[in-house]
Amino acid sequence: MNAGSAGTGEKDFMDMLNDAMKRAVEQRGRVNILIVGKTGVGKSTLINSVFQGELCKTGQGRPVTSETREIFKEDIPIHIFDTRGLEVNDFQSNLDELLALVKDRKSRSEPNEHIHVAWLCIQEDSRRIEDSDIRLHERLSDHMPLLGVVTKARSDQGFRRKVQELLPQARNVLRTMAIPDHLDDGHVIPPHGLAELIDATYELVPEGHRTAFTAAQKANIALKGKRARKYVKTAAATAAGIGGVPIPFSDAVLLIPTQVGMLASISSCFGLQLTTAFLGTLLASSTGITGATFLGRSVASNLLKLIPGAGYVVGGLISGSTAALITTLLGEAYIRTLTTVLSKKDLSDITVSEISEEFKRQLKQ
């Protein structure tokens, strides 16, 4: 390869990374969650415990009604609509303002502007469901799916069942403890119910916004892997089509745009910040090679060694089934990589080099 073709190849490689990144960001979109409840029920603590970025501490906030703020942070695909407490005083006027906001958002043509799910938070220690909570759940559930969230859940004593009875339009009621609770007798109640809350919310979020919700939450790592496998299956099917007419092993580079797009989508599901620099560093450090053509042959040759009986690469040709298997192996290795590193560290503390090293280890396995 001469210098001119090498330069073109490198440019094509960077263009491919840029396209993959843009598609992943676009397909991820954004999700919007409304969180309501009285002052002191623990909404801020719950938000910071289940979503990336400690939004209530470090996110930007802007008022959208006299009692509601829209909280968001760059690169985290979620906006939280947080009510500062709908108290008895001026309850009706505050409710009217909130419903006007909900209706306005629902009428917009851009789905990323809709409010997709509501959480109604009630503190377990209070043992009370106010008339205002019942009215709030009745009115909001006309416009979006709503979950009842029992916060600071120390001892149920039938309270969850009572909430279910009084909030019949709630899709589910879940008990949660957002942070460890240190009791006077020295016992500690660990956080609980957060992964279940995320699972229940995921099922209510519209399909087109589930990747955004998966990326934004941090309480359920398994959900990230589950969502990411959707993109592995799609990429494997595309790769099978590319290999439908068996391609020469030397042309395995034809698979690489599909595989890079898959890696970008998996990264998006796990909430990683997507940049061409990140994708380029990940691929280069994991294979030890840069440039699309060399990268394609390196990934293909390394993964083919993992396939019993060679997969089969008959006469130096890659079939559709082998192309799909190569792509699936790559995707599953990357999902295991991100699951492993996130089980040890918070996303904000993980470096590209740590991800790359673990990815190389998973590929060797």
Q: Would you state the pLDDT for residue 86?
A: 72
Q: Would you state the pLDDT for residue 251?
A: 58
Residue 279 placed within a domain: yes
Tokens of 321: 């089934």
Residue 60 placed within a domain: yes
What residue type is assigned to position 110 of the chain? E
144 and 275 part of one domain: no
Of 161, 185, 216, which residue is a domain's last? Answer: 216
Residues with Cβ < 8 Å from 69, sequence gap 6 or more? 61, 62, 63, 81, 82, 84
Q: Would you state the pLDDT for residue 311?
A: 43
CA-CA distance, 22 to 182, in Å (whole number)?
A: 45
Residue 11 placed within a domain: no
- Taking the chain (365 residues) in consecutive chunks of 10 residues, what is each chunk's mean pLDDT? 43 80 92 94 95 91 91 94 78 92 96 97 91 94 97 94 97 96 85 97 97 97 97 94 68 77 94 85 65 50 51 59 85 95 90 89 81
280 and 172 part of one domain: no
61 and 188 part of one domain: yes
Q: Are 67 and 84 in contact (CB under 8 A)?
A: yes
Which CATH number goes with the domain that contains 175?
Answer: 3.40.50.300
Residue 270 placed within a domain: yes
Tokens of 136: 């709030």
Q: Name the one residue in this structure whose structure tokens are 């019993």.
A: 308
118 and 62 part of one domain: yes
228 and 133 part of one domain: no
Q: Would you state the pLDDT for residue 115?
A: 98
248 and 355 part of one domain: yes
Q: Could you give the number of structural domains in the chain? A: 2
Q: Are 228 and 265 in contact (CB under 8 A)?
A: yes
What residue type is assigned to position 295 of the chain? L
Residue 21 placed within a domain: no
Residue 157 placed within a domain: yes
What is 66-125 written as a DSSP string? TTEEEEEETTEEEEEEEES---STTHHHHHHHHHHHHHHHHH-S-GGGS--EEEEEEEGG
209 and 226 part of one domain: no
CA-nearest of 304, 285, 305 to 295 is: 285
Run of H or E residues at 333: helix 320-342
Edge to edge, what strands does the sheet with 76-83 contain?
60-65, 68-73, 76-83, 31-37, 117-123, 146-151, 172-175
Residue 7 placed within a domain: no
What residue type is assigned to position 170 of the chain? A
Of 195, 216, 237, which residue is a domain's last? Answer: 216
Q: Are 156 and 51 in contact (CB under 8 A)?
A: no
Q: Are 282 and 3 in contact (CB under 8 A)?
A: no
Using DSSP's 3-state secondary structure scheme, residue 151 falls into strand
142 and 41 part of one domain: yes
164 and 235 part of one domain: no
Q: Would you state the pLDDT for residue 58?
A: 86
CA-nearest of 212, 224, 236, 235 to 340 is: 224
85 and 191 part of one domain: yes
326 and 262 part of one domain: yes
193 and 296 part of one domain: no
Chain centroid to Cα 275, Å, comes to: 17
CA-nearest of 343, 210, 352, 192 to 283 is: 352
Residue 20 placed within a domain: no
- Domain that residue 34 falls in: 29-216
Q: Are 283 and 355 in contact (CB under 8 A)?
A: no
Of 168, 197, 216, which residue is a domain's last? Answer: 216
Q: Name the one residue in this structure whose structure tokens are 């939280």.
A: 80
